[in-house]
Structure 1
Amino acid sequence: MNNIPAVKMGIISVSRGCFPISLSERRRHAIANAYDGELYDCPVTVETEADVKKAIEDVKANGVNALCVYLGNFGPETPETMLAQYFDGPVMYVAAAEGDGDMINGRGDAYCGMLNCSYNLGLRNIKAFIPPYPVGTASDIAKMIAEFVPVATALLGLRSLKIITFGPRPSDFFACNAPIKPLFDLGVEVEENSELDLLVSYRAHANDERIPALMAEMAAELGENNPYKGVLPRLAQYELTLLDWAEEHKGTRDYVAFANKCWPAFQTEFGFVPCYVNSRLTERGIPVSCEVDIFGALSEYIGICVTGESVTLLDINNSVPASIYDEDIKGRYDFRLDETFMGFHCGNTPACRLKNPHMGYQLIMKRQLEPEKAEPDITRGTMEGDIAASDITFFRLQGTASGELKAYIAQGQTLDVASRSFGSIGVFAIPEMDRFYRYVLVEKQYPHHGAVAFSHCGKALFSLFNFLGIADIAYNRPKSLPYPNENPFC
């Protein structure tokens, strides 16, 4: 993934003057030794304000872009909070648990110091990340740092992300339309363009000398059993168009995502559906959302940052027929029928996430745009197949009509069950999905698109959204915890 930041963590220990500095340093070294990965162990222990400058200069000189401030003892309240004030990147705070054996000279009181640290962060209006329980041994702290890395990756990515859009939202797709001001509040840049801009650029790539090589790459990926090879020149031309646009329009940003118009005029003017190209770019870490879904693209990008792997964007689409449930799910999986559903999109899911990836055509569009043709032409270009079984996290960060941000997170799985249908599609199961559907998705008026990460990453997503100040973070509640508006008599 070359479209997300590479996080280099550093750790700086702090020490209050009336406590042994050696205690904080010894405990910091133990964390560095316990950490499984690259963690820069800053040699400057911060006791005074003068030490702050030395420590910041040292970690910057060593390429650190995310920082752990470690209270190895009680800690100096002003200098330790100034570290976050002057470090240009995500900062977490953790504190040492006792247990070195000596409860006289070896007692650090960091449990107490963390309280004063949080108070001083508030006084200075400094935003810092504090884990759910921020006190621990060396191995505990090492685990906390590892769990902070995905959050830090997303925070660094958002501050240098540009979302590029082409075209207005399709008619009657108000669900994909949301004010963009919340994106600027997050530090995300937005560039909105017309479909005509994209068409002009696409036509300018008609004789691009790179097209044959890219066609060969696509053909190798799709294999010999591909009845739609004739559309590959157009798809290769389009992929080069998007990649060149991204490079030429990054501006001051390092990372890009796309939210593009993909129907209905797209097919008649470009001569294909863009789904396969969208799937290829998303697999490389450049999400391309359908139907100009800007917050869908944002959610996909967050998922890529948090997991370091490819994601997808799907419609929360249709219920699972009882016949399929009875035949393939009941007695095999511990889910009720109403806890299952199908996630679908035309063909945008990366091939690596599909059981039998193959190029197809958009059946729904063919009915409308070329119903008389026996063989599809302008509706070719989907990446189709059933989504492979795995753990998943369905989530979305959404801007509301009033310009606020809200989010939902639901962990579940894709079942190893045949869809008997078309497109990029999978049979999903989420515990208490029926209640989540009614009292989160419907009640809170979320659109039909949801981002899908192919692992359980709810903990990192919740930490990220909470850090970003999202007040409304919904999740699939267990039966024992009713939703505010849930009918208690059901």
Structure 2
Amino acid sequence: MENFKALYLPIGVPTFHKESIDQQFELSVSLLEGISLDIEMPPAPLLAIQDLISFLEGKACDLAIIQNNSFANSEYTSEILRRLDVDVLLWTLKEPVVDGGRLRLNSLTGAYSAGNLMHHLGKGNFEYIWGSPKDPEVVRKVSAVVAAARLKKDLRSMTLASIGHTPQGFGFGRGIDAEINRHFGMGHMAVEVRELMQKAKKLTEEECGDALREAESKMLHLHAIPKENVRDFVRLYKAYNDFIKENNIAAISSRCWPDFFVEFGTPVCGVLGLLNDNQLAAACEADAYGALSMLIGMRLSGQSVFFGDPVSLDKEENTVTYWHCGTAACSLAHPSKGAETGVHPNRKIGPTMEFGCKPAEHATVFRVGRKPDGSIRFFISKGRILDKPQQFLGTSLVFQCERPSMDFVDRSVRDGWEPHFIVAYQDIAEELRILGRLLNAEICEY
């Protein structure tokens, strides 16, 4: 992946209170240094057009953080946008003193000048924050913008792989090369399931030794599964891993039923679970947009995410249960039991992951949705994951909504959302909102 870079552009004029200007600049630099080492900053505020032009000379970036260090007319922003066609965070500083005396910064008027210009230039899709560098809200917002802009850049060097086709009636997850490239800048490759099955069947036990040791170290009760199923599962895991490494894949959507049960004799569930445990986004039922949702959730939260169907709601408890046959990451298992394994609830073949997931005080339900016209939208909902036992055979978690669960379900069904969602073990709603806007996605909050 190419390196991400942001530029901090503290613009203004020297006719306001220089001591306040310098103080806010130093505080801002300290904040930005704490957020990322990939933000380039000038040695001093850019208080003249020529200073700004000189600093921008020969520079390129992925994000411009334009701060009205004091008032600046729209010529400053015009010079920036003429040289940089990038995403923008516009930052207004809080007036440091309101005492009936001199106006120290007048940053807010400068922000209106910049916003007006960007609106007229057709660049109104920018991020905005008001506040002091000491405000927690400012730290949170700037951090979220940097994280989202970085992920947007990273996605352009990633590849999504679709392994097999969606089953009949599951077309909602089918990936279309041109759309994935247009919306995310990602590559998309497709292979048939039989290719990986054939590779798996040719692997020897010696070649699969490391894969078996990893599985045994993470998956409990694997010894209770018939030896031939464990052997074939490990071969399949090795084949998937090799394919991913050879093609530099960031996320996969894999066909599962009926092929692996009928033609291979062992499910792919455990394979996807181990991949997810290694934070390689792996969605089942060939759901390409589900895999993309997992990838985004993993990158923004820094940990594995849950993938599943909404299968049950409890109005009194204000919860929705998410479940799937058994592809959850081992690290998501409730610590009281660990990452137990078992057999598929319908097909009675293993190994599959078999546990209830651990709780979390902050969680986010998310989905990249495809609209009828081919454009995208983001489903975002904040809540928490309750400390609950396994709800059904397979893997499950119980999500407590911030809003009434009945309304949550009613609205999302009426709005036509796909039946697969991811649940991230962190509040990443702000990062998702920003990323969605950067990608021109419709933001839908529940």
Q: TM-score range by the shorter chain?
A: 0.7 to 0.9
User: Relative to structure 1, is the Cα distance of residues 446 and 143 closer, same or farther in structure 2, using a 3 angstrom cutoff?
Assistant: closer
| Structure 1 partner of 2:340 | 358
Alignment-mate amino acid for residue 435 of structure 1 = D
Q: Deviations over 1:98-153 (max 9, x none)?
A: 1157987762211011111122223444466423xx22112134343223233223
Matches within 5 A, 1:89-238: 90-99=87-96, 107-126=104-123, 129-131=126-128, 134-140=129-135, 141-177=138-174, 181-186=178-183, 187-204=185-202, 206-207=203-204, 210-223=207-220, 226-228=223-225, 230=227, 231-238=229-236
User: Relative to structure 1, is the Cα distance of residues 280 and 12 closer, same or farther in structure 2, using a 3 angstrom cutoff?
Assistant: farther
| Structure 1 partner of 2:12 | 15
| Structure 2 partner of 1:384 | 354
Q: Is the 8 A contact 1:226 1:359 kept in 2?
A: no
Q: Deviations over 1:196-217 (max 9, x none)?
A: 333344345x138541122112
Alignment-mate amino acid for residue 271 of structure 2 = V
Work out the CA distance in 2 between the residues paired with 1:157 and 1:148. 14
Q: Is the 8 A contact 2:115 2:124 kept in 1?
A: no
Number of paired residues? 434
Work out the CA distance in 2 between the residues paired with 1:194 and 1:358. 30
1:365 partner SS: coil
Matches within 5 A, 1:308-347: 308-319=302-313, 336-337=316-317, 339-347=318-326
Work out the CA distance in 1 between the residues paired with 2:380 and 2:231. 39
Supply the RMSD in Å over aligned alpha carbons.
3.1
User: Relative to structure 1, is the Cα distance of residues 28 and 233 closer, same or farther in structure 2, using a 3 angstrom cutoff?
Assistant: farther
Work out the CA distance in 1 between the residues paired with 2:269 and 2:2. 26
Cα drift, residue 285 of structure 1: 2.3
Matched, 1:448 2:419: yes
| Structure 1 partner of 2:407 | 435
User: What is the percentage of aligned positions where both structures have the same residue?
Assistant: 19
Cα drift, residue 224 of structure 1: 6.0
Matches within 5 A, 1:241-256: 241-250=239-248, 256=250
Work out the CA distance in 2 between the residues paired with 1:229 and 1:46. 69
| Structure 1 partner of 2:395 | 424
Cα drift, residue 292 of structure 1: 0.9
User: Relative to structure 1, is the Cα distance of residues 144 and 404 closer, same or farther in structure 2, using a 3 angstrom cutoff?
Assistant: closer
Instruction: Give 1:279's match in structure 2, choosing from 273, 279, 291.
Output: 273
User: Relative to structure 1, is the Cα distance of residues 9 and 236 closer, same or farther in structure 2, using a 3 angstrom cutoff?
Assistant: farther
Cα drift, residue 59 of structure 1: 7.2
Alignment-mate amino acid for residue 436 of structure 1 = F
Alignment-mate amino acid for residue 346 of structure 1 = C
Name the TM-score, length of structure 1 as normaliser: 0.78
Name the TM-score, length of structure 2 as normaliser: 0.85
Alignment-mate amino acid for residue 360 of structure 1 = G
| Structure 1 partner of 2:435 | 464
Q: Deviations over 1:222-280 (max 9, x none)?
A: 24674127344333332332233223324xxxx61101111101223333212222122
Q: Is the 8 A contact 1:48 1:76 kept in 2?
A: no
Cα drift, residue 450 of structure 1: 0.6
User: Relative to structure 1, is the Cα distance of residues 23 and 177 closer, same or farther in structure 2, using a 3 angstrom cutoff?
Assistant: same
User: Relative to structure 1, is the Cα distance of residues 303 and 88 closer, same or farther in structure 2, using a 3 angstrom cutoff?
Assistant: farther
| Structure 2 partner of 1:474 | 444
Unaligned runs of 5+ in 2: none
| Structure 1 partner of 2:375 | 404
Alignment-mate amino acid for residue 388 of structure 1 = K
2:341 partner SS: strand
Alignment-mate amino acid for residue 270 of structure 2 = Y
Work out the CA distance in 2 between the residues paired with 1:67 and 1:203. 51
User: Relative to structure 1, is the Cα distance of residues 290 and 224 closer, same or farther in structure 2, using a 3 angstrom cutoff?
Assistant: closer
